[in-house]
Amino acid sequence: MLYLLQQMFVDLKLVERFYIELPVLQSFLYQVHVSYNYTPYHNFRHCFCVTQMMYGLIWLCNIQDKLDDIEIFILLVSAICHDLDHPGYNNSYQVNAKTELALRYNDISPLENHHASVAFEILNSDSSNIIQNLSLEQHKTFRSGMIKCILATDMARHNEIVTAFNAISEDYDNNNADHRLLMMMIFLKVSDISNEARPMDVSEPWVECLLQEFFMQSDVEKLEGLPVAPFMDREKVTKPSAQVGFIKYVLIPLYESLASMFPEIRDPILAPVKRAFEYYSEMARKQDADKEAVKLQEEGRRISSSVEPTKDEERRVSVGEIAAT
């Protein structure tokens, strides 16, 4: 995976355009790798999947025609670094548990602020500083853009960002820096939650990983007396129930927003997401049918047991039958 990430920088000509030495790039990627934790979901494999999707979207949508080289650089590095040192417990837990991260960042996107901070700690080391040859102006643009893109991955801001993007999509002005930044945020958000755009045999195991991480958090929240989100509670959520709502109300509207500007994503990216929605909807229907069947079966047993004769009744019936013969 590290070699493939390196090749992405080469293919996009970022190595030559920003004078990145390969040993420095390799050191950067290694430091990123060891800075991801072994959580069920937010781990280095997730980082790679997000970056691979970003790389694919850059080529599929030919966004080099809309963004400057430095902005393409920002997108790729943001994808790589967007979940650095994720502890496996989300922002709600950080705030409710009053963790060090929540206190440090005043409850404002504590995880995303931390991911960006760790990224620049890595970039601040000479051995892994892939931005050391940027001009002062380029460095300012890179740092500002990368922080804003990573902060945009906080799902608490999802509706705000998608609504803002929809508002400018019809009158998009590529000369407007704010418009380009919104587009960059959307590309990173799409990449971050892109599992359902992949084949089902790839995407479904990731759902299991995410639910495992959710359940780990909710178990801890119950032990600590903290609020538990229903979608993270193992006693209330199932795989299809978690997916149907997420795909319908988050993924499809987000992907439709990007497709309004880049229709080329409809067949390879949006269509699989809609197929995933049908897949999990059918799974939910089957689960509901199975639950109803079990419920009816249990009710049948209960009714049957309530009308069964007692032993005394059975004895009286037997005596009566004998007397009648």
Q: Which sequence positions are flagged as catalytic?
A: 42
DSSP 13: T
Between CA 201 and CA 67 the distance in angstroms is: 34
DSSP result, 36-81: S---SSSSHHHHHHHHHHHHHHHHHTTGGGTS-HHHHHHHHHHHHH
**In the 8-state DSSP scheme, what is residue 266?**
I
Give the separation between CA 128 and CA 60, rounded to whole angstroms.
Answer: 29
How many helices (H) and strands (E) would you count in the chain? 16, 0
Q: CB neighbours of 147 closer than 8 A, spacing ≥ 6?
A: 116
Cα–Cα distance, 81 to 234 (Å, whole number): 30
The continuous run of DSSP H or E covering 311 comes out as: helix 311-324
Sign of the four-CA dihedral 8, 13, 16, 17:
negative
d(CA 76, CA 12): 10
Residues 6 or more apart in contact with residue 265 via CB below 8 angstroms: 57, 60, 61, 255, 258, 259
Sign of the dihedral through C-alpha 262, 264, 269, 274 = positive
CA distance 111 to 115: 6
| Residue 91 and residue 153 in contact, taking contact as beta carbons nearer than 8 Å | no
